[in-house]
Amino acid sequence: MKKSIIDEDDCIAKFSPEPGYSIIQTIPKFFIGTIIIAGALYMNVSYIGWAGILLWIYGLYRYYYIRNIKFFLTKEQIVVRKGILSIRTDYLELYRVRDIEILQPLWIRLLGLMSIRLVTFDSSSQFLLLKGIKQSDIANVIRDNVQSARKENKILTMDRPYPGLNG
């Protein structure tokens, strides 16, 4: 039985990139791979065709890699689990979140998706990007939990001016 990273009682939200996002991210790899394979068949040069096959394999790997990314939101943390062969789990304490940005380029908005970029006070990773998730109010839920985590941990944040600016 697969053990969960987060206790189900602690998890406020669990989400992952949508299948449409995974497909859009891998289409160029499949398209270019197909062109390379077709060119190799047309020119009767089999060793070039292997590059197209490798590109297809890489495209499949990326598709499943994106589909295996999981985001967990608790009262205190955002946990990101990703990987296929080797799995990496990142933990971000919510009180470390400085700013929340919702990113919606045209192609992602047409699919009803969004990405959320969390700007943090963490020096090791200043940004956390939650890509390709379904449009929802999850950014507001994260924001509310960030505020709660700051109050609970008695964290006071102050905006610092950029060095060299007077005023």
| 49, 32 Cβ separation under 8 angstroms | no
The per-residue pLDDT for range 121-139, each reduced to its tens digit, is: 877 788 999 999 999 999 9
If DSSP states are collapsed to H, E and C, what string results for the chain? CCCCCCCCCCEEEEECCCHHHHHHHHHHHHHHHHHHHHHHHHHCCHHHHHHHHHHHHHHHHHHHHHHCCEEEEECCEEEEEECCCCCEEEEEEHHHEEEEEEECCHHHHHCCEEEEEEEECCCCCCEEEEEEEECCCHHHHHHHHHHHHHHHCCCCCCCCCCCCCCC
| 145, 73 Cβ separation under 8 angstroms | yes
- Tokens 């995974």, residue? 22
pLDDT tier, 37 (very low <50, low <70, confident <90, very high otherwise): very high
Task: Report pLDDT for 4.
Answer: 60
Token pair, residue 25, equals 């991210």
Nearest CA among 80, 61, 79, 56 for reference residue 22:
61
- Name the average pLDDT for the chain: 88
| 42, 126 Cβ separation under 8 angstroms | no
| 33, 56 Cβ separation under 8 angstroms | yes
Task: Report pLDDT for 161.
Answer: 56
pLDDT tier, 163 (very low <50, low <70, confident <90, very high otherwise): low
Task: Report pLDDT for 77.
Answer: 92
| 117, 97 Cβ separation under 8 angstroms | no
The residue with greater pLDDT, 161 or 165, is 161
Task: Report pLDDT for 63.
Answer: 96
The per-residue pLDDT for range 42-61, each reduced to its tens digit, is: 998 888 899 999 999 999 99
Task: Report pLDDT for 46.
Answer: 83
Task: Report pLDDT for 18.
Answer: 94
Nearest CA among 132, 129, 137 for reference residue 113:
132
The per-residue pLDDT for range 49-98, each reduced to its tens digit, is: 999 999 999 999 999 999 999 999 999 999 999 999 999 999 999 999 99
Task: Report pLDDT for 159.
Answer: 63
Task: Report pLDDT for 70.
Answer: 95
